[in-house]
């Protein structure tokens, strides 16, 4: 029999869990139960008041008064709806609602009794005060005990035979209390809260709902090991993103799984549930304080304007489009030659931004006739030029394409901007254009020089603006998607060099600054964005492995493959000769760049484009280096030609051929 008892208990618990999961008492039944309790406890109050002597009072009168009490209590229960909550999940709020009903009903019945003593009301209203008080106490005790008993029984039978995770909650404020309460009431979850962490000294070294509150400095590896803690739930809303990312990184470095709760607006039906806890992403480790934009200036500048975006289906271009849909623009013309990404972008815009007047066009920015027709038909007033090839290793292998698309596309677009009187032309550049060591960077540096040259030509009315920033998190082909795929496949995660660092921004952050800089510029400026501190790629790989629940170099290895051709160890946002000037936005600065011969640069560019496919790779690189003297390739096969290119004289030729 002893052996069967645990098995029987386990069977009954499973059956009870099934019943609780699939069924709950209808509200009318809870209401009827409460009214029955009011009636019976009222009669019990009479019996208790008269020492259980039935002959000492009129049973008929007691029954009538009991029915009167039921009527009064029913009215207040319908008003305060104390019957509407799930009894198995009874909370302090539910108990308060019950107390609100019973107190209100007692007050009304006392008024009836007092009024009946001053008038000739029927005897039914004259309920002795002692009866009312005994009834009030016994009814509350009965309702409280039954509700709490059902809740405790539910929690007892719902305990699953599994080992729960020990967790700490970072934040002992209102949000932390909500998380604790929800975890405590949801017996199906796998979490056991062992401590709160909070920087509020008034809460430290005290207990909150039976859980100790510690200073965040308590978060050490020895503390985690002692308490067998593997998970931290972050439960603070009003905190600077930069501070939050610091806390996340510290926790991840200690090997903690970090969960965060969604913003209140994303709670299910206005209530938070345990299943909404989500693991943080690598973007959360690198987040910074939000950018303050001059929204009025941007909105006024974009109102009713026709805007052309090239490379519209790419990572940066598509986010620029999303940012633009926030404003009251006249028409949005999107150009890209990638069919499938363009199809998906159009679907997204129709679903989420149906109000935006959008025209999607499949076209190549290097097709001068096609682009001329687009400019002629739509007459864009603003152009955001994001079309470009960006992958360093591919462009190192295909320098002709880097020149054709990046340099050639920019040349065509700037020509057409001048021809059709575009008001503002904003180009997205890259930190790889600074002291370039690869073909892609040199091609983008050439693009920068094209825009600066156009801006300085006599008679030009178009404001050519350059925005320069580093890597964006999660963009197509960036390290984060690559690392994520390698981790999913079990590793190894490949990093080119242990010391390689990069600047990072989120895509929305970068595109917001592109809009901001676009309306700062008057023409010819290079705007440099505050990218924060550079990040070691190896550290980023380790953090991503930990975020995925693995241990670096144990579960998943990190391997170093060596720098690729043209790849830098460190990226720069400015050359040695460049300094910056501040703007009204602390995150946007203007690069003070050295001047150069604008007409000669345009002439060399035209010469490069006209002869590109008649040149060998070596000759192509030589001509490119003549335009960008600071280009010093780390690709050994191009290095001799760079030296040769730096010695070439400028070529006199027609700048704007027919």
In this structure, the strands spanning 165-170 and 229-234 are parallel
- For residue 102, the surrounding DSSP H or E stretch is helix 92-117
Instruction: Tell which residue, 494, 613, 626, 632, has the closest CA to residue 566.
Output: 632
On the question of a cis peptide bond just before residue 84, with omega within 30 degrees of 0, the verdict is no
Q: Are 267 and 342 in contact (CB under 8 A)?
A: no
- Cα–Cα separations (whole angstroms), residue 162 to 21, 188, 340: 18, 10, 47
Q: Are 183 and 231 in contact (CB under 8 A)?
A: no
496 burial type by CB count under 10 A (0-12 exposed, 13-18 middle, 19+ buried): middle
Catalytic residue among 180, 432, 444, 568: 432
Alpha carbon 596 to chain centroid, angstroms: 43
* Structure-block tokens of residue 61: 């009168």
DSSP 8-state symbol, 227: T
Alpha carbon 215 to chain centroid, angstroms: 27
CB neighbours (10 Å) of residue 13?
16
Whether 432 is catalytic: yes
In this structure, the strands spanning 278-279 and 257-260 are antiparallel
Sheet of 382-385: strand order equals 358-362, 331-336, 306-310, 382-385, 424-430, 463-469, 526-529, 588-592, 579-582
Cα separation, 320 vs 389, whole angstroms? 17
Cα separation, 623 vs 206, whole angstroms? 72
Look up tokens 């009187």; give the residue.
Answer: 421
As a dihedral over the C-alpha atoms of residue 177, residue 179, residue 183, residue 186, rounded to 10 degrees, the angle is: 100
Close Cβ partners of 31 (under 8 Å, ≥ 6 residues apart): 74, 77, 83
H helix count then E strand count, the chain: 23, 22
Query: Catalytic amino acids?
Result: 432
């Amino acid at each position: 029999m002893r052996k069967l008892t645990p098995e029987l208990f386990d069977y009954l618990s499973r059956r009870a869990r099934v019943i609780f999961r699939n069924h709950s008492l209808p509200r009318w039944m809870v209401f009827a139960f409460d009214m029955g309790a009011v009636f019976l406890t009222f009669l019990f109050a009479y019996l208790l008041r008269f020492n259980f002597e039935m002959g000492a009072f009129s049973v008929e009168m007691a029954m009538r008064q009991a029915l009167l009490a039921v009527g009064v209590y029913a009215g207040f229960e319908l008003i305060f709806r104390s019957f509407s909550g799930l009894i198995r999940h009874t909370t302090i709020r539910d108990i308060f609602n019950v107390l609100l009903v019973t107190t209100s009903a007692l007050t009304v019945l006392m008024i009836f009794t007092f009024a009946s003593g001053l008038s000739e009301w029927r005897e039914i209203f004259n309920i002795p005060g002692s009866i009312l008080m005994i009834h009030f106490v016994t009814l509350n005790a009965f309702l409280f005990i039954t509700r709490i008993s059902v809740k405790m029984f539910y929690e007892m039978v719902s305990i699953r035979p599994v080992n729960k995770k020990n967790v700490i909650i970072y934040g002992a404020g209102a949000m932390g209390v909500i998380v604790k309460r929800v975890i405590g009431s949801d017996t199906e979850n796998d979490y056991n809260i062992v401590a709160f962490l909070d920087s509020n000294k008034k809460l430290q070294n005290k207990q909150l709902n039976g859980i100790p509150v510690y200073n965040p400095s308590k978060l050490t590896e020895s503390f985690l090991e002692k308490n067998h803690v593997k998970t931290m739930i972050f439960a603070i809303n009003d905190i600077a993103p930069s501070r939050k990312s610091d806390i996340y990184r510290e926790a991840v470095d200690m090997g903690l799984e970090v969960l965060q709760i969604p913003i209140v607006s994303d709670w299910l039906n206005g209530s938070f549930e345990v299943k909404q806890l989500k693991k943080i992403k690598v973007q959360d480790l690198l987040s910074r304080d939000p950018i303050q934009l001059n929204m009025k200036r941007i909105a006024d500048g974009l109102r009713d304007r026709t805007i052309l975006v090239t490379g519209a289906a790419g990572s940066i271009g598509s986010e620029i489009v999303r940012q633009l849909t926030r404003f009251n623009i006249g028409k949005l013309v999107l150009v890209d030659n990638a069919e499938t990404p363009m199809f998906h972008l159009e679907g997204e815009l129709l679903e989420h931004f149906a109000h935006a007047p959008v025209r999607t066009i499949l076209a190549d920015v290097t097709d001068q006739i096609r682009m001329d027709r687009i400019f002629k038909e739509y007459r864009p007033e603003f152009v955001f030029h994001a079309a470009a090839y960006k992958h360093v290793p591919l462009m190192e292998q295909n320098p002709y394409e880097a020149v054709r698309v990046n340099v050639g596309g920019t040349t065509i677009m700037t020509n057409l901007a001048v021809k059709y009187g575009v008001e503002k032309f904003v180009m997205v550049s890259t930190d790889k254009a600074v002291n370039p060591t690869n073909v892609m960077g040199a091609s983008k540096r050439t693009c920068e020089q094209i825009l600066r040259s156009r801006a300085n030509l006599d008679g030009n009315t178009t404001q050519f603006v350059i925005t320069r920033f580093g890597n964006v998190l999660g963009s197509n082909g960036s390290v984060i998607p690559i690392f994520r795929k390698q981790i999913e496949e079990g590793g190894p995660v490949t990093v080119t060099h242990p010391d390689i660092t990069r600047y990072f921004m989120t895509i929305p952050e970068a595109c917001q600054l592109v809009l901001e800089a676009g309306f700062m510029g008057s023409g010819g400026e290079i705007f440099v964005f505050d990218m924060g501190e550079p990040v070691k790629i190896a550290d980023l790989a380790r953090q991503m492995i930990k975020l995925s629940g693995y241990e670096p170099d144990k579960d998943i290895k990190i391997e170093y493959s060596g720098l690729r051709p043209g790849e830098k160890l460190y990226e720069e946002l400015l050359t040695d000769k460049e300094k910056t000037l501040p703007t009204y936005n602390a995150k946007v600065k203007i690069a003070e760049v050295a001047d150069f011969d604008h007409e000669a640069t345009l002439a060399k560019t035209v010469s490069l484009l006209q002869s590109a496919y008649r040149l060998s790779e070596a000759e192509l690189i030589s001509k490119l280096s003549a335009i960008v003297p600071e280009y010093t390739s780390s690709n050994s096969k191009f290095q001799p030609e760079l030296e040769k290119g730096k010695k070439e004289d400028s070529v006199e030729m027609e700048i704007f051929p027919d």
